[in-house]
Each structure stands twice: as structure tokens, then as C-alpha cells.
Amino acid sequence: MMEKTVRRGTRTGFTTGACSAAAARAAVLGLVHGAVPEVVDCLLPNGDTVRFAVNDGRCDVSTPDATAPATAHAMVIKDAGDDPDCTDKAHLTADVRVLPGEAGVVRLCGGFGVGTVTMAGLGLEVGGPAINPVPRRNIEDNVRAAGAPLLAHAGLEVTISVPQGVEMARKTLNARLGILGGISILGTTGIVKPYSTSAYRASVVQGVQVAATLGHGVVVLTTGGRTEQFAMKERAALPPACFVQMGDFLRYALDEAVAQGLTEVVIGGMVGKLTKIAQGETITHANRAEVDTELLAQLAAGIGAPPEVCAEIAAAETARFAAERMQALGLATAFHEALAQAVVRTLMAPDRYGGKFRLQVLVCDFDGQKMAEADSTLFPPT
């Protein structure tokens, strides 16, 4: 009798943003059709359409003699797959109400359990809900697609809430980042890959091994989908199999690159992860180490930033704050170049990977636009 083999640790899940968008779409469909559906097909940011189960659906009318519902409620339970995520099983809830006389308006609000932004440096409006830009667009896209008949003559207000959000937020770094009162609504693709599992580490190693078989002698390591798209544009001559989304597992990827005899490694990233690499972290998960904002302040000082700005950067909690302050001063390019060079110095130190391969570091901003690069052959470590 053959034993049944179960492959564990690789099941993908869905982000809080995707689940919020699905709940919002279901609630809007309730307003359009008079009843919230039990399942909803939701468009994800990556272009896929996924079916979600809908819970607690209901519609309400504003007055006893009204002919159409004025508000609707729907909830989607998050399934994080095999990623050990503290928001797994969160109840992403959408309450939608009609805004008479505001044709075409879609207003997004944060309800109970969604954090409020209280500090700069997150790319979000201070005082607003901690709903990141990609989920915001994805929620609105789904609302507009489902609510077109209503939006022709009215607006829609969408409030996202998470009943367990306050408790879940205690297991995150949100409070340290100035996000208070709940969790963040996140996700750039809508899909959660098990970045934090041994299975994902193994897939990173396997990806480097595959890249080594292609004969180009190079692997391009990125921290996620957005940085991979950026890196693919920069190194367009390379086949897709040369690109590996390493997630937080730089050390495993670099060690395998050495083991496979690759002669060139390219790292594509944004300011947050690259700062952690520059400070010597090769496992860059948010729970493993904090961003060294003192390092960023030193880099800012080195390119001529005023002392008071450097002090603000050192006291901040995020790398993004530093990038935004440098942008405001017209020093963004120089700052990102200094950061890229710091990554090269750290990784190519003799006690790390010096002499084992050529290293190129590519830096993009939060929109995937190139900011800087550094190369170990042009900028030898000191």
C-alpha cells in the first residue's frame, strides 16, 4: 500500500487588501441587486480573478417606503495559506452606503480595527486609515466595476473594518510605526506567498539553482513582485528564470549563488530592505530586525543634508521617512546612490562575500522607478 504524500508549507493565501476588496464588492452587489451574494468573484491587483466566500451579508433600506437598499454589509475571512501571519482568519468587513447626489464618487474609510496613521514616512496621509495604495486602488476598482449602475447617479462610501484588528495589531510593529488602533490593509498582488516558511526558503535556493543552469552566470534577486518587475526592465536581456524573488532570505540566496559558482549577483530593492542589508542583516523579515535609521542619518549627512534633517531621520521609525525627506530636499538620487554603495560595502566585505562574485545593486522607488545603482567593480568596498 502506497502512503499518501502531502506537500506542506507551499499553500498560498490572500492578503488583507484582497479580502477587503472582495467584501466591498460583495456589499456593493448587494446594493445593486437587493441581496448580498454568498460568493463573489474579485479582481486582484495582479490581474487574477478569485472567488471568495462571503459571510454575514445583509442589506438595509433607509426608510420603510424606500424601494432600494441604502446600506449593505459583507465580510470575508482571510486565509493566509501557509504563511504564519498574525492576520490569518481576520474578518475583513465592508460596510457600504449610498451617497445621494454625489454621482461617481467612491469614498474609502477605515473603521474599527483598521489602524490610523499618526506619523509620516509610510506613504499614507497622516490621520487617515492604514490602507496601502495598491489595496486602495483594488478596492475602488472592484467597487466601480460592481457598482456602475449606482455610480451613474450616486456615490458610494466604503468603510473597511476588522473586528479583531486591535488585538492582532499588538503582534505587529504597527504601534512603533505610528499606526494606532488596528492592523494595516496590505498587499501588492493580492496573493500571500509563504515567505516565512522553510518551503519558501527551499524555493529560493531552487530558483538560484535553476538560474545557474542557464549559462548566463548571473542571478537577479528581488524582494518581491514590484522590485522584480523593475529589475526585469533593467536587465531585459536576461530570461525570466534568472530572476528569483528571494523575499527576506538573502543569505540563503547568496550562499547558493556561491555554491553554484555564479559570477554575478544583482540585487533589486527599495529603501527599507536595502537599509537592512546595508546594516548587515541577511534575513530581512520585519520581525527579525528594525531598520537602522542612524545609518540612514549618516548617509544623509554624507551627502550634505542639514543636521536637523539628519536628526529627524535618526529619530524616525521608517526608512521611507528618510527617502521622503531627501526627495523634498532634492537629494533623492544622491541618497539612494549612497545607500546602494553601502549595500555593496557591507556584502562585499572580506568576511562576507568579497571576491566571490560581482555585485550590482539596483534601487527603485515605491512606484518602481529607478533611483540609483552601484557596482562592486566600479565602486570597490573600502
Helix 293-302 with 271-278: angle, nearest 10 deg: 90
What separation in angstroms does the CA of 336 have from each of 11, 226, 339, 367?
A: 36, 17, 5, 15
| Amino acid 83: pLDDT | 73
| Amino acid 95: pLDDT | 98
Query: Model pTM?
Result: 0.73
| Statement: residue 3 has pLDDT above 70 | no
| Statement: residue 84 has pLDDT above 90 | no
| Statement: residue 97 has pLDDT above 90 | yes
Phi then psi for residue 381, to 5 deg, are -65, 150
| Amino acid 43: pLDDT | 97
| Amino acid 196: pLDDT | 60
Question: What percent of the chain has a predicted confidence (pLDDT) above 90?
Answer: 73
| Statement: residue 382 has pLDDT above 60 | no
The class level of CATH for 13-192 reads alpha beta
Bridging pattern class, strands 218-222 and 243-245? parallel
Report the residue count for the chain. Answer: 382
Domain ranges of the chain: 13-192, 197-378
| Amino acid 286: pLDDT | 53
pLDDT digits (tens, 9 = 90+) for 30-42: 999 999 999 999 9
What CA–CA distance (Å, rounded) separates 128 from 206? Answer: 42
pLDDT digits (tens, 9 = 90+) for 187-212: 888 888 776 666 678 778 988 998 99
Q: How many Cα neighbours within 13 Å face the side chain of 136?
A: 15
> Which of 326, 329, 268, 267 is closest to 296 using CA atoms?
326
Mean pLDDT of 320-337: 96
> Which of 89, 93, 107, 95 is closest to 161 using CA atoms?
93
| Statement: residue 357 has pLDDT above 80 | yes
What separation in angstroms does the CA of 309 have from each of 314, 345, 366?
A: 9, 25, 21
Which pLDDT band, with edges at 50, 70 and 90, does 247 fall under?
confident
What CA–CA distance (Å, rounded) separates 41 from 53? Answer: 9
Which pLDDT band, with edges at 50, 70 and 90, does 123 fall under?
confident
What CA–CA distance (Å, rounded) separates 28 from 94? Answer: 9
What mean pLDDT is reported for the chain? 90
pLDDT digits (tens, 9 = 90+) for 34-67: 999 999 999 999 999 999 999 999 999 765 656 6
> Which of 307, 300, 298 is closest to 327 using CA atoms?
300
> Which of 327, 334, 339 is closest to 274 using CA atoms?
339
Three-state SS at 109? strand
pLDDT digits (tens, 9 = 90+) for 252-308: 999 999 999 999 999 999 999 999 999 988 665 555 567 899 999 999 999 999 999
Find which of 2-11, 221-230, 259-268 is predicted with most confidence, using mean pLDDT: 259-268
